[in-house]
Structure formats: C-alpha cells, structure tokens
Amino acid sequence: MQEDRIIEDLITAQHEVVALTSQLIQIDTSNFGDSPDTVGEMAAAEWVGSQLSDVGYSPEVFATSGARRGGVTLRIPGTDSTAPALLVHAHLDVVPAVASDWSRNPFGGEVDEGFVWGRGAVDMKDMNAMILAVVRHWARMGVSPRRDIVLLFLPDEEAGGRHGGHWLVDNRPDIFEGVREAVGEVGGFSVTVRDDLRLYPIQTAEKGIRWLTLRAAGRAGHGSMIHPDNAVTEIAEAVAAIGRHTWPRRRTTTVDRFLRELAEAYEVSVDLDDPSELLSRLGTLGFLVGATLQNTANPTMLDAGYKHNVIPGEATAGIDGRVLPGYEEEFEETIRSLIGDTLQITTVTSDIALEAPLDTLLVDQMASVLRAEDPGARPVPYMISGGTDAKAISRLGIDCYGFSPLQMPADLDYWRLFHGVDERVPVDGLAFGVRVLNRFLHMC
C-alpha cells in the first residue's frame, strides 16, 4: 500500500521540480577553474541544504578545498540495514555562458513555451532538482527507501573534480561508507525512434581523459634569417600530424551491445566493425557514439612567439585526448609515434576510462521503472566520450551508472543542449523524471 501511495501522490513533487530547477539555475555557479570568478558553488550548496532542512532532514553542507567550493551530503536510512547503500550524485557547477549569445538570460531560470531555460537546465541542475523533489516528497509522506540512499551534490565537475569528487574520495571516504553502486549523469533520456518506441540510453561506460601539453624547443633568432630548428614549425607539424591522424576502430563490450540494440530498434543490420550507416540515423547522438568507437586526440590550443620578426625559442600546443577502456597504452604509443622524439609531452590531466557491468539487478531496475512510465521505452547501455564524477567515485570500487531520467520531445536535439546556447529542459520531461526517479529509488 505504501508503494502505491508514493507513486500516485506525486502531483506536488511534479510541480515543485519546475520551481526548484528554475531557482537553482538563478544561482550562477559558473566554473572558471581556479579563477576567483568561480564563486557560486557554496551559495548553491547552502540553498540545496535549506531545501532539505525545510522538510526535516539534517544535511551536511561542506567545503572542499576552500570556502567557495561547497557541496551537500545526506544519508537517508533504508529499512534493510543489511543492503548496500546506493549513492545518488549530481554536480552543482555549470560551464560559463555568454549572455549576448542567448535569446534569454542564461541565469534567469525562465519558464516559457513548456521549458525551463538557462545554463545547467540539462547539465545538470535538472537532476539536482529532481532528486530534491523526490526526497522532499518522501519527507512529507514519511517514506523510507529499502536501502540507504546517500545523496551527494558536488562542486567542480566541469573542471575535472579536483575540488569536488576527487577531493571527497581522498578526504571524506566516510560519505561513501557501505556504497557499492552509484547513479548520476548522463543517461535515462529518451531518443525517439517512432511514436511507439523510444530508446533510453543508460550510461555504463565512459572514456578516459588525457589532456596533454606539447612543447617544442628551438633556437631563438631574427625572423629574417634561415632557421631550420624553428620551434613554431616543429609544433605546427606535430599538431597537424595528430589532428589528421585516423584512429583505428576498437570494439568494447558496452558499445557492441549498444549497436546491436540500435540495429534491432531501427530494424536494420549492422556491421560492428563499421556501423557508419546505422549511426547516421541518430543525428548528434551518432557523433557521440562514433567517438566511442576509437581513441581521439584533438588539438585545442597553440601558443608561440610575441613579435613578427622574432623566432621564439619555444612553442606549445594543447591536445584533448580521450581513451577507450583497455586502449590507454595504444593512445600513448600513437601520440609519441606521431610527434617523434624531440618534443616534450606533459600530461596536464589524466583520468581513467570506465566500464561498469551491464547485466545487473540495478540496470534491470532502471529498465523496469522506465517501462512502467513509458510503455514504448527501450533502455540500452551506452558509453559517453566525455567524463563525469564517476571517474572519482569509481576509485572506491563503486560501480557507476548514468541515470538522470528525462523524456524529451522527439524534435529536440538533447546533446546540442549540453554546454550550448539556449540550454533548456522540458517541463513535462522534468515531471517524467520525478516519477521515474521516485519509482527507482524506492524500488532499489
């Protein structure tokens, strides 16, 4: 009876999630890295803490590596003390937005045309709001989950988590006590195949990160002279070699499973060694999936010189490398072979690739609750080419999954909203997410 009551009496929570999303967007948590302009995370953490305290919980608002970098945690006790805890995490920070590029104030949280608009609407203040709406509903109804649910609202995900997830794993392992599985971003969103069929990718894997700085040294001198050891030439050749390199396709368990599921959904055959035709049906999502079929390395920065007629003694380049699980060594060997032995390579950021188990009870439960709310749902595992706080959390032996459920309009390009102009989330999608998340957290 209690379960029926929880599922049915969600009207308040479904309305509340819209206001919570809007209010959280209005707190500017733009992450500029270590710049003093990164100031909003603690204000957002205090606001989240107040939303939990207002309904009777006792959350902990904490600072990480400084007073401005803040987060919130809360453990909601379950009825089965022998069951392992589940971590539910979301990040409070967002990437910056240039207001002049937007049709609406990126930090206005405007509700219009069936959407909540603003930076973080899908990445990922919507998930923060859905979590809050569900557990506030539980507090009002006197609901307890089956197992302990550990909530964690984090800073600094958009800059790699050094002041967020990684800091907590190193300094606050007590927060993760008893946790064996975790859910966060990015998964559980709908991709419409036809009116009666929607794919819901659930993230079970993500690529690793290798951000590199290449440094070429040469002889400084006058620009009018002959200079065979020109650092600018050396760095330009290295950047061109990396940028034009065609990486070989590599197959992983998650991506193979995803491609098979896609082929069945679209009722076409698929060549797992060359699925280009299948991916062309997916729009922007196809580009993302394509990036999970190979390692990638993209030149992103160049720096050299200070005057037209002066040959600089040094030139540098930035490379954004992403590596598949199991192919890290291949990446490093390939980069060195492309640039030769004369350039220096410095790894600026390195983080692991992940691949969590696919056939688990938790994944089955995600699929079950999606189908309960959408009979046309087809959940499928997938890998993302970027990174999340799961990279930090998995260091503790915790299996991490992306599950922040949303039902999206068929004509809305979900992936272009991430870090994009006019980022927005559908009001109906938020209500759907609350219903799914409520079922899931209570069931699991």
Which tens digit of pLDDT belongs to each residue from 201-250?
999 999 999 999 999 998 888 888 888 889 999 999 999 999 999 999 99
What is the length of the chain? 444
pLDDT in tens, 390-427: 999 999 999 999 999 999 998 888 878 888 899 999 99
Segments of 134-237 assigned E as strands: 149-154, 179-184, 191-194, 197-206, 208-217, 221-222
pLDDT of residue 443 exceeding 90, the answer is no
Q: pLDDT, tens digit, for every residue of 363-386? A: 999 999 999 999 999 999 999 888
pTM, 2 dp: 0.90
Per the DSSP assignment, residues forming a β-bridge with 86 are: 149, 181
| Domains parsed from the chain with CATH numbers | 2-190+365-371+385-443 (3.40.630.10), 205-351 (3.30.70.360)
Phi, psi of 183, rounded to the nearest 5 degrees: -125, 140
By three-state DSSP, how is residue 293 classified?
A: coil
Bridge-partner residues for 239, per DSSP? none
Could you read off the pLDDT of 125-170 as tens digits, one per residue?
999 999 999 999 999 999 999 999 999 999 999 988 999 999 999 9
Residue 122 in 3-state DSSP? coil
Asked if 235 contacts 214 with a C-beta cutoff of 8 angstroms, the reply is yes
Q: What residue has token string 């206001």?
A: 19
In the chain, pLDDT over 70 holds for what percent of residues? 98
> Residues 59-83: pLDDT tens digits?
999 999 888 899 999 999 999 989 9
pLDDT of residue 1: 47
CA dihedral over 295, 301, 304, 308, signed as positive or negative: positive
Least confident of 27-36, 120-129, 183-192, 414-423: 414-423
**Around Cβ 162, how many Cβ atoms within 10 Å?**
17
Q: Is 18 exposed, middle or buried (0-12, 13-18, 19+ CB in 10 A)?
A: buried
Is 26 exposed, middle or buried (CB count within 10 Å of its CB: 0-12, 13-18, 19+)? Answer: middle
> Percentage of the chain with pLDDT > 90?
76
DSSP string for 77-89: --S-TTSPEEEEE
* Block residue for tokens 């927060």: 175
